[in-house]
Structure 1
Amino acid sequence: MKKLKNEAQLIKKAMQVGETYAQNRGYAAFSAQTSANKKVESLYRLLVQDKLVVALPPDKEDLPSMKHKLAIWIDKMLPEDHPLKATG
């Protein structure tokens, strides 16, 4: 798994956009007590369910891989001229 340029910032952006997406799909907002790891897993599973992200093989489902999938998803969603856009 090759890290993307600005991967940490892409994950943060994916979390913001993903939470809004989940709310628009009718899910309740995450509480202040929900851990970041739980949010990552929940958003990953929602995006897989909606076929916006290709699911990881069950034996490869771990937190770093889920975060990487979220980063790839948001990178594809960003316009080409966005400052976080991975260029190499």
Structure 2
Amino acid sequence: MPSITIRNVPDEVHRAIRVRAAMHGRSAEAELRDILDKAAKPEGRLKLGSLLASIAREAGGLTDAEAESFNQLRDKTPAEPMRFE
């Protein structure tokens, strides 16, 4: 797993992180990991799959029969492996 070094953190910020970590019963490092995780992946973020599904719903989407007809048209023969000779 990658590591991150953060330099020049103000003393009051460092103290606040240590206090916050103690309140949550974990180390300062674990607290910072939690803060970074929540900042990078917020609860209300829009995920790509959800966005595509909503677009499909708005456009009318495919019926099961239409999806099955696309499946029948698909070429199911295995791909030939690439050769580097």
Q: Same fold (TM over 0.5)?
A: no
The higher-RCO structure (CA 8 Å, 6+ apart) is 1
Give the alignment's TM-score, normalised by structure 2: 0.26
Give the alignment's TM-score, normalised by structure 1: 0.26
Structure with greater Cα Rg: 2
